[in-house]
Amino acid sequence: MTDIIKLTAAEIAAKIAAGELTAVEVTEAHLARIEAVDEKVHAFLHVDREGALAQARAVDAKRAAGEKLGPLAGVPLALKDIFTTEGIPTTVGSKILEGWIPPYDATLTKRLKDADVVILGKTNMDEFAMGSSTENSAYGPTGNPWDLTRIPGGSGGGSSAALASYEAPLAIGTDTGGSIRQPAAVTGTVGVKPTYGAVSRYGMVAFSSSLDQGGPCARTVLDAALLHEVIAGHDPLDSTSIDAPVPPVVEAARNGSVAGMRVGVVKQFSGEGYQAGVVQRFNESVELLKSLGAEIVELDCPSFDLALSAYYLIAPSECSSNLARFDAMRYGLRVGDDGTKSAEDVTALTREAGFGDEVKRRIILGTYALSSGYYDAYYGSAQKVRTLITRDFEKAFEQVDVIVSPTTPTTAFPIGERADDPMAMYLADLCTIPTNMAGNAAMSLPCGLAPEDGLPVGLQIIAPAMKDDRLYKVGAAVEAAFVEKWGHPLLEEAPSL
């Protein structure tokens, strides 16, 4: 079992295709690992043992019949519990959808199944993807496998923890303000936020519709690229889906190089609040890029300083609109329906019981920002700042091919440390939010361990919209050089559970 769970997704797929392993053997090894460690980690909310084994048997039958297998056929995956899955629960980490079983698959879920990827189950997350630590889940927090007393990032902490604890070689996350990249950074894994609209949002429970984006999570850059290629592409069921070819991400990951590239370093992604070890590892990464033949260009993007404030007006405003559908009338939880109360009373009681504190905080903030007399002062102004951020990116990408920064200002903080300080919690997404505001593509990959606490540090790479292949080209080059020089932080120094 240990040998199987340590393999990369690419290695697993190759061994299944060659007949060296069966998909059932691989699936059983990961299900055994989940059974052995997930009580401590709490990465999963629901494990679909029978469904996963049925998918695996179908892959083995295809191979036995001589059918051609896809590049990830038989590889297990942990799916964030924000995508609908026919026949198994989708809760979005909330009590208001506890026990809800969707009657259909999200487009992303369907594409995974069509590619013969084996879905192990649904992972824990901050309720409705609102948070930076996976402490806001109605079903309890997830631990970071590097140190179970610390957060695994959020909102997709369950997916990142599943990777770091070897419960799955692949995972899916969603990124509204950093919820793929920030968990990747603090768990020593790879996470990619594709260009907005590159991966279908049909069947993905909405938090902030103009910011939400599904994406791949893995332990290596190549694995992330292989998964990216499976889930991306135009979807007529999603009006925001981009009708354009998927960039050649796998080819870029297999041929990583930064020779002759211009790499930008933004001065706004530094200063007060950045942990010394994070800054040290980032500076080393910049020197590594330089040694690989990249030209480093310093950039000034003044509007980035306003991104956090603007985001926490736009995202809650869209959240208050999207979550209005949870009214106890159509699906999910219903409280107080005893025949004596009005529909309004039942809706109010249900929302009081079903939504957690962070969700209520954002609904109230967003409803206020959209209210008569305040719309222009708050939401309208935030949208103007969003335009300025987009323009700053456009100017920057006239000078450079990609931008790099720390993914998070600090390493994983202790569970509970910021629970009573929302502003401190929100600062965890300081470096990631501007990309969501502009709709660009971005990746986080490991760049070492912070010397003061021995915890993973993430390097963020940002590329222009629809130039996602640049992320993989640079990421693969950095990963290869890093492994050669220092060893992979997860594959070589993995924490024990």
User: What are the start-end ranges of the H helices in 232-342?
Assistant: 249-254, 276-291, 307-322
What dihedral angle (degrees, nearest 10) is formed by the CA atoms of 186, 489, 435, 395?
140
> In the annotation, is 155 catalytic?
yes
Which DSSP string corresponds to 12-41?
HHHHHHHTSS-HHHHHHHHHHHHHHHHHHH
Pairing state between β 76-80 and 170-174: parallel
Alpha helices in 375-460 (DSSP H): 381-399, 422-426, 433-438
Helix 307-322 / helix 381-399 crossing angle, nearest 10 deg: 130
Residue whose pair of structure tokens reads 């999570």 in the numeric block: 217
Catalytic site includes residue 303: no
For residue 257, the number of C-alpha atoms closer than 13 Å in the C-beta half-sphere is: 4
Q: Which of 132, 133, 155, 241 is catalytic?
A: 155
Q: How far apart are CA 380 and CA 264, in angstroms?
A: 30
Cα 398 off chain centre by: 28
DSSP, residue by residue, 47-101 = E-HHHHHHHHHHHHHHHHTTPPPPTTTT-EEEEETTB--TTS---TT-GGGTT--
Catalytic residue (one of 179, 241, 405, 444): 179
HSE, side-chain direction, 13 A CA sphere, residue 61? 7
What sign does the dihedral 118-487-414-128 (CA atoms) show? negative
Helical axes 9-18 vs 49-64, angle rounded to 10°: 50
**Annotation marks residue 179 as catalytic:** yes
The Cα 262–Cα 446 span in angstroms is 21
Residue 158 · residue 123 · CB < 8 Å: yes
Per-residue CA distances from 136 to 12, 190, 281, 380, 424 (Å): 34, 23, 30, 29, 15
Residues noted as catalytic? 80, 155, 179
